[in-house]
Structure 1
Amino acid sequence: MGSCRVGVACLCLTGLLRCDARQCAGIFRKSAPGVSRGGQQIENVTRQKDTNPMALSKDQVMQALGKVSYPGLSRDIVSFGMVKGVELLPEAIVVSLVVSSSDPTIGQKLEHGVREGLQQLSPGRIDVNVELRAASGPAAGGHGTAQAMLMGNARHVIAVASGKGGVGKSAVSSNLAVAFARQGLRTGILDADIYGPSIQLILGDHQQPVVRDDKIIPIVRHGVSMMSIGFLVDEDNAMIWRGPMVMNALVQLMSDVAWPELDVLVVDMPPGTGDVQLTMSQRVALSGAVVVTTPQEVALIDARKAINMFGKVNVPILGIIENMSWFIPEGSAQKQYIFGNGGGRREAERQGVDLLAEIPLDQRIRQCCDAGTPVVLEEPGYGEIFDQIVSQLRARLQL
């Protein structure tokens, strides 16, 4: 048992936390609001007398839509769960999309892409109606596909993952977020490691978040908007939760946080390839994933699994970061390759992805993490390493 650190019914539904406050804002509730029925109807009709959409099958239409990418991303609108309905009428194909975005040009680009993709099904011209509806939140029960764009306030969402724990993923995630912010980008970080949150420690802020209008306000530290379940529970209490509880907590962290407009949101993923990774991949418009590993084969085996998992859900790998690449003993200039030499580079070549950086095993990184001060702000050499990583990612994402 543990007590809630914010005055809301944050995780009380699990029975493992106790809400001591009388005012309950409904955060981390069992169900979330459904998709708005109101919306914008965009119709583009081009007529063809001899072409009958009824001769097509819905499978053919879905296959064509599976080739339509979300604007600015390589992932398609079908895998994102945006296609809410396909209706074949005698005179038209009607496609209904649910998209959470405040950018009106997104709807225009999607409409154009859908119309262009469906017209390729026939040499003639087909009537196409595209309905765009702004999704207000997750579908009731939290298990529908309407949550595919929960992080609608972020232009790009980058998952930082590892197949194996203990490779320094959270340290890399935190410093990566600060490096993005140092380059003038509006940056956020979400700690999705429900069982072992650490972002609040690494970035040095343990204050309780404020709830306003039933939304949790992110903590801002080092120019980065951040949210972690570590802000909401006592740090000494173990999160003894089964899968559904964890999934509900994660979805609420995504949907019930008042994220500001962001250029990039870094998501610190838990190790492994389980429910959390799958939920994030299916419900969030991930621009791509960065995989952190050590050079050791034991770590590379699990990193390989993470890369394969992202491939199966059509999330591009932005690159590999090899952490703990070497160690230089005090008083010596010779590198000691404690975990092996070049494993990350070889794996990047094998996978056909970029090796973004090789980061040494250095006690200064550990000291900065424990002190809550990102090493990119304290050590110019590491600031340069992470600036180079950010520059590569910005070029890839056109940021």
Structure 2
Amino acid sequence: MIREIFESKMATIIDPNLKLPLIQIGYIRDVMLKEDKAALTLIATEQDQTQGVTETQKQQIEELLRTIGVLSIHIRIKTVSEEEKQHISIRALEMQQSQTKSAARPAAPNPFPVSPMVKAGVKFIAIASGKGGVGKSTVTLNLAKALHKVGKRVGIIDADIYGFSIPDMMGIHEKPEPTNSRPTPLQRDGIQVISTGFFVKGNDPVLWRGPRLGRMLSSFLNDVMWGPLDYMLIDLPPGTGDIALAIHQMLPECSEIIVTTPQSTATVVAERAGMMALQTHHHIIGVIENMSYYEDPTGNKHYIFGKGGGSKLAEQLNTSVLAQVPIIPDEQQSTNPDLLKQIYDDIAIHVVQTLS
């Protein structure tokens, strides 16, 4: 995949002051890759530009891109603002501290087995957010439907233990029946589903912690009798807790989509989820900004929750905005159910192309 090769190549270009790869600290942004074309933004300080450091970095990027077959290259130089510089410095310090801690202790053995689905070539996509209430489960379900629509075999693991909602959203009210003492996923509209909610009595709260959560997720991946799959979507709990950590251990090749709203509070906490993905070398496919605006009958857009949060988050995570999903009242969706389908169809096509 050209993006993975690109990120691997860019990781060799080190900032001389922070001693970290430019791409990891956010100095390489707005990356667009298509066939033999590439465009990106290179963030630079005024001092680096004056001393010729930026020009050297630009040449390094161009040379590395040519080694992977990119012929048309456009690099825009953007001077870093004081606010951005402070943000990058804090991020770099956290990364340096994390590296120091990792180097100081021996690597612990991975307690979880590799899922047979990994060996079968299933592509995993975790749907993450920093906080609840941003529509993460809705994004998961709509993306699953869109992937199924383009001919992909899709499964969903509803791992949001504190807010499992996928079964209700899909109209699933029964419990899965075991086959040979192993759980079997339920199916709706061609999509296979397993959920924490299947194994909880009524609406009882889930009072689980670390090891038990890890075992639950491991069981979903290894013990459930899944049918053949191309994609497995994992609806994560919000934040950076035990389930998110377990995903990074069990599925090192998992990709991620970060869901946020335009609100600054949502994007700030969503960045933490994204930074966890980057630090564990998970590929972020992109950001979906949900509840971006409401369009009234006259065509005017109203930005109820603010504006620009998704773009800012994508810039901070060195990725792109996959879609800005509008607010559509239930009555409008019932009269015109195709309003959102095109958005998710486009996302699905992008996902397939990115992960192919």
User: What is the TM-score when the length of structure 1 is the normalising length?
Assistant: 0.59
1:154, 1:264 within 8 Å by CA — same for their partners in 2? no
Q: Using the TM superposition, name which of 271-280 and 248-257 deviates more.
A: 248-257
CA shift in 2, pair 1:146/1:243, >3 Å: closer
Would you say the 8 A contact 1:149–1:285 is kept in 2?
no
Instruction: State the distance in 1 between where 2:316 and 2:157 align.
Output: 30
Structure 1 equivalent of residue 189 of structure 2: 222
Kindly provide the amino acid, as one letter, of the partner of residue 323 in structure 1: N
User: What is the CA distance between 1:145 and its match in structure 2?
Assistant: 4.0
SS in 1 for 2:143: helix
Answering whether residue 345 of structure 2 is matched by residue 387 of structure 1, we say yes
In the alignment, residue 171 of structure 2 is paired with which amino acid? G
Is the Cα–Cα contact under 8 Å of residues 160 and 290 in structure 1 kept in the other structure? yes
Q: Which AA in structure 2 matches 1:393? A: V
In the alignment, does 2:292 pair up with 1:328? no
The one-letter amino acid of 2:325's match is I
Residue 104 of structure 1 aligns with which residue?
none
Distance in 2 between the 1:244 and 1:316 partners?
A: 25
* Number of aligned positions between the proteins: 253
Specify the SS of the correspondent of 2:294: coil
1:158–1:286: 8 Å Cα contact kept in structure 2? Answer: no
Give 1:267's aligned amino acid: I
Q: Which of 151, 162, 165 is residue 129 of structure 2 equivalent to?
A: 162
Higher helix share: 2
Answering whether residue 320 of structure 2 is matched by residue 354 of structure 1, we say: yes
> Does 2:207 correspond to 1:240?
yes
Q: Structure 2 CA distance, aligned partners of 1:392 and 1:364?
A: 27
Q: Give the match for residue 32 of structure 2.
A: none
CA distance in 2, matches of 1:199, 1:386: 17
Paired residues of 2:271 and 2:316 also in contact (CA < 8 A): no
1:250 is matched with which residue?
Answer: 217
- The alpha carbon displacement at 1:171 in A equals 0.5
Q: CA deviation at 1:241?
A: 2.3
The whole-number CA distance in structure 1 between the counterparts of 2:261 and 2:130 is 11
Of 269, 274, 295 in structure 1, the residue corresponding to residue 236 of structure 2 is 269
| Aligned positions of 1:130-145 closer than 5 A | 144-145=110-111
Q: Is the 8 A contact 2:115 2:222 kept in 1?
A: no
Q: Deviations over 1:97-128 (max 9, x none)?
A: xxxxxxxxxxxxxxxxxxxxxxxxxxxxxxxx
Give the match's secondary structure for 2:316: helix
Aligned residue in 2 for 1:198: 165
Which residue matches 2:145?
178
Greater Rg by CA: 1
Aligned equivalent of 1:22 = none
**Match of 2:282, as an amino acid?**
V
Q: Deviations over 1:278-335 (max 9, x none)?
A: 1011112443100000011100001110111011111010000000001234x44321
Q: Does 1:208 align with 2:175?
A: yes
What is the Cα deviation at residue 242 of structure 1?
2.9
1:396 alignment partner in structure 2? 354
Could you tell me how far apart the structure 1 residues matched to 2:224 and 2:6 are? 26
Q: Which residue of 1 aligns with 2:269?
A: 302
Distance, in Å, in 2 between the alignment partners of 1:287 and 1:251 is 14
Deviation string 1:326-383 (CA, Å, 9 cap, x unpaired) is: 1234x44321111111221232133321210000122239978xxxxxx9xx721211
Instruction: Tell me which amino acid in the other structure corresponds to 2:355.
Output: L
Structure 2 partner of 1:189: 156
> Aligned partners of 1:365 and 1:276: how far apart in 2?
36
Tell me the CA shift for residue 150 of structure 1: 5.1
For residues 379 and 367 of structure 1, the distance between their equivalents in structure 2, rounded to whole angstroms, comes to 5
Read off the aligned partner of 1:333 and give its amino acid letter: G
Instruction: Name the counterpart of 1:50.
Output: none
Distance of 1:286 and 1:363 partners within structure 2: 37
Deviations, residues 218-269 of structure 1 (Å, cap 9, x unaligned)? 1010110110011222332111223333222222222221112211011001
In structure 2, list runs of 5 or more residues that go unmatched.
Answer: 9-108
Where 1:353 maps in the other structure, the secondary structure is: coil
**Pairing 1:96-111 to 2, within 5 Å after superposition:** none
How much has 1:146 moved relative to structure 2? 4.9
Match of 2:117 in 1: 151
Amino acid at match of 2:150: Q
Q: Establish whether residue 339 from structure 1 lines up as the match of residue 297 from structure 2.
A: no
Aligned to 2:330: 364
Taking structure 2 as the reference length, the TM-score comes to 0.66
Unaligned runs of 5+ residues in structure 1 are 1-68, 77-142, 369-374
**2:281 alignment counterpart:** 314
